[in-house]
Amino acid sequence: MVYLTRKIEFSASHLYHNPAFSAEENRRVFGKCNNPHGHGHNYVLEVTVAGEPDPTTGMVLDLKELKEILQREVSDRMDHRFLNYEVPELSGQIPTCENIAMVIWRLLEAKITRGHLYRVRLYETPDLFVDCYGEGRGGREREGTAH
C-alpha cells in the first residue's frame, strides 16, 4: 500500500453562529468567531489517497486527475467564498474545521476511483487542523480491511 498526498490552498471567510442560541450564548461559545461580519483563513488541504501502484504506469492514480478533482470539488466551491452563505453543502451547519473536513470527505470520496480516499487533513491555521478518515477508524487500522 502506498499513500499519496496532494496539497491545495484556498482562502475563505466564515462565522460561527447558532440561531438556536441567544446572542450572549453565541458570544460565549464561539468567542471572536461569532463576529457577525465574519473573518477569514488561508486553508490548507492535504488529501491522501491509498492504493497499489498500477504496474504499467507506476502510479496509484494520475496526479493530474486528482488535481482536477480538487479544483472542481473544493477550490471552485470554496476558494474566495463566504462559507456560510455560498457553499450549500455547509448550509445549516457551523462551518468549523470539523464540518468543512467532513463535507470535503463526502465531496471527494466517490470521485476518487483509483485507490481509495484515506485521509482529508484540513488546516484552518498552522496551529489548528482536523484529520477526517470517513467511516474508517483512523490511523492505519483501516489498512487491509477496506478492500
Partner 1 sequence: MKLHLWRRYRFCASHRLHSEQLGEEENRRVYGKCNNPYGHGHNYVVEVAVSGQVDEATGMIANLSDLDAFVEHEIIEPFDHKYLNEEIAAFQKNVPTAENICIEIFNRLRVFPHASLERVRVEETGLNSFEYAGEPAGGTHEPHQ
What are the catalytic residues? 33, 80, 124
Nearest approach in angstroms of CB 54 to partner 1 is 24
Decide: is 146 part of the binding site for partner 1 (CB under 8 A).
Answer: no
Query: Does 96 contact partner 1 by CB under 8 A?
Result: yes
Q: Which of 88, 126, 144, 145 binds partner 1 (CB under 8 A)?
A: 126
The residue behind cell 478518515 is 133
Residue 129 binds partner 1, judged by CB under 8 A = yes
Task: Give whole-number Cα distances, 55 to 3, 50, 60, 123, 143, in Å.
Answer: 16, 15, 9, 34, 20
| Interface with partner 1, residue 135, by CB under 8 A | yes
Exposed/middle/buried for residue 13 (C-beta within 10 Å: 0-12, 13-18, 19+): middle
Pick between residue 44 and residue 65 the one whose CB is nearest to partner 1: 44
For 29, the grid coordinates are 461559545
Of 57 and 125, nearer to partner 1 (C-beta) is: 125
User: What is the dihedral sign for C-alpha 78, 81, 82, 88?
Assistant: negative
Q: What are phi and psi of 42, to 5 degrees?
A: -95, 100
Binding segment for partner 1 (CB under 8 A), chosen from 37-45, 51-59, 61-69, 91-99, is: 91-99
- Site map (CB under 8 A) of partner 1, residues 2-41, x = contact: --------------x-x-xx-------xxx----------
N residues, the chain: 147
